Amino acid sequence: MPRKSHAAFRVFSDIKRRTVPHMESTQDKVVGMYKSFAAGNQEGILSRLPDDFVAHVYGKDAGMPWGGDFHGKDAFVQGFLAPLAQHTKTNSLQVTHLAETTGRIFTELKWDARFHGTPLVIEHVVHMWEIRGNEVAVFHHYSYADKDLASLLQALSNPVPA
């Protein structure tokens, strides 16, 4: 016959397992933000970011309407997410590589989107996410491959009616 202390421990462990919320890992947060982005779910992105989130997005000097440095969620929405949504429609977004080092997550993406009605697949979008504690604190959008950037800028300058 099992000792009562073991039975009580099993019951406590089962209750604890059911009632302790699962803490989303930083990799889960990053992948979840990409899934939310692909689905057009802005709230799904913002819910995973701290209020003092910072984003450094490549492209302002190249003429991209969503490039720049954004401090805080509101600035990120107004300067990056809103202009990106205005100019693009995501068909699919695939994380092709993901690597985590101390305090950083690196991702490479393949992005299939439409820019003003022009189909465009960008195969080498590179991002870095800085992690503080269990928070995704800073986003760095590095660049597109040269051929992808040229195609993107061409699509933005010669929109096809939808």
In tens, the pLDDT along 52-107 reads 999 998 777 767 788 889 999 999 999 999 988 888 888 889 998 888 888 899 88
pLDDT band at 11 (very low <50, low <70, confident <90, very high): very low
Q: How far apart are the two ends of the chain, measured CA to CA in Å?
A: 73
* One-character DSSP codes across 53-98: -EEEETTTTTT-TT-EEEESHHHHIIIIIHHHHHHEEEEEEEEEEE
pTM for the whole structure = 0.72
The predicted pLDDT at position 9 comes to 44
Q: Is the pLDDT of residue 7 over 60?
A: no
Q: How many percent of the chain have pLDDT more than 90?
A: 31
Asked if the model's pLDDT at residue 147 lies above 60, the reply is no
Closest CA to 142 of 114, 115, 107, 112: 107
pLDDT band with cut points at 50, 70 and 90 for residue 20: very low
Q: For the chain, which residues make up each domain, given as ranges?
A: 23-157
Average pLDDT, the chain: 78
Question: 101, 103, 99, 120: which is closest to 111 by C-alpha?
Answer: 120
Q: Helix, strand, coil shares of the chain as percentages rounded to 5?
A: 40, 35, 30
The pLDDT value recorded for residue 157 is 59
| Comparison of pLDDT for 107 and 22, the residue scoring more | 107
Q: Higher model confidence: residue 20 or residue 77? A: 77
C-alpha 125 chain-centroid distance: 12
* Residue 1 neighbours by CB distance under 10 Å: 4
CATH architecture of 23-157: Roll (3.10)
C-alpha triplet 119, 88, 109: angle, nearest 5°: 75
Asked whether residue 112 carries a pLDDT value surpassing 70, the answer given is yes
